[in-house]
Structure 1
Amino acid sequence: MTRLITVSLDKRGVRCVARLLEAAAPRTCAAVWDALADGRTLSAQVFHGKYARNEIYTLLPPFAADPGKENTTVTPIPGDLCWFSFDSDDLGNPAYGYENTTGTGTTGAIVDLALFYGRNNLLINGDQGWVPGNVFGEVIEGLEEMAAACQDLWMGGVRGETLTFARAEGS
């Protein structure tokens, strides 16, 4: 059975549907799928990529064991969903501009779930170097509308917007 999730920008009322890539990233997919059981969601403040280019993401406290590296990339394509694992010290540089509400600045792990909505992305960070992400899903519906909303985030700002991951109805 194909497992589907939705990714939404709640304030803007835009969502897309993604298929989990269970054969390529079984541990990452299991971690996300299990976290979304029983109607739960993964939802927090959205951010727009500063270095990667055409990326939106959210930072979450750990909700599962770190799946380790699987199906990694440093050049995600439009529609890729990626998982990144960071220690809070990795994101503690004030240049990133995170406010204290993100959980950065505290000790511990952070899970970054990202959606890439355009081409020519490169996962390199001036402080960290290459930052490979686990590709665990691909958008199969609604990418064009989501990309337009993501571009609006880039130009109009992200304050007050949340990025939410949920199981798709019927999945």
Structure 2
Amino acid sequence: MRRILFTFENGEKLPATLLEKKAPQTCEIVWEALPFSSLVKHSRWSGREVNFEIKTTNKPKKENQTISTSIGEVIYWRDWPVDSDPEVSEVLAIYYGAEHTRSHKGDEPVNVFAQIDYDCLGLLKAVGERIWLNGMEKVRIERIED
């Protein structure tokens, strides 16, 4: 079971477990991109969500997709209709509340590939609300090596 860690600018640490049986390709591609740092911001369209850009060498296929997320789910999104474009934006997002994934285009299916530890969901909500109120901040994503 592979695990990752999100460390936010104020020092909060949110561990997550990869859902390798449900989204094996997405998990592998994200795992290979680690570690990296990014600017995390609050979603404009999908409610209680913070997100940040990721650059991968390969683009995962659609797997374990939904438009209805739950608290603590970590997702991968890109503009699926233009996935042949190597410059297409790729995003990871963490949901700190149940939401419907959407944009100005309508419903936006996402790959659910990880789950924040359940005992950290209160901290996740506090981080999400802080980013919503204060704007962008840095996040580092890395592997948890056992």
CA RMSD of aligned residues (A): 1.7
Kindly report structure 1 stretches of 4+ aligned residues shifted beyond 2 Å.
Answer: none
Paired position in structure 1 for 2:70 = 77
Structural mapping, 1:6-155, within 5 Å: 6-9=5-8, 11-36=9-34, 41-60=35-54, 62-86=55-79, 108-119=87-98, 121-126=99-104, 128-140=105-117, 141-155=119-133
CA distance in 1, matches of 2:103, 2:30: 25
Aligned residues: 141
CA distance in 2, matches of 1:111, 1:82: 11
Question: What TM-score, normalized to structure 1?
Answer: 0.76
Shift of 1:154: 0.7
Shift of 1:7: 1.4
Give the counterpart letter for 2:130 in structure 1. Answer: D
Shift of 1:164: 2.1
Deviations 1:6-52 (A, max 9, x none): 1121x21111111000000000000011222xxxx122111101110
Question: What TM-score, normalized to structure 2?
Answer: 0.89
CA distance in 2, matches of 1:163, 1:73: 25
Of residues 149, 162, 167 in structure 1, which corresponds to 2:138?
A: 162
CA distance in 1, matches of 2:102, 2:33: 28
CA distance in 2, matches of 1:165, 1:77: 21
Query: Rg bigger for which structure?
Result: 1
Gaps of 5+ in 2: none
Gaps of 5+ in 1: 90-106
Q: Is the 8 A contact 2:18 2:114 kept in 1?
A: yes
Shift of 1:169: 3.6
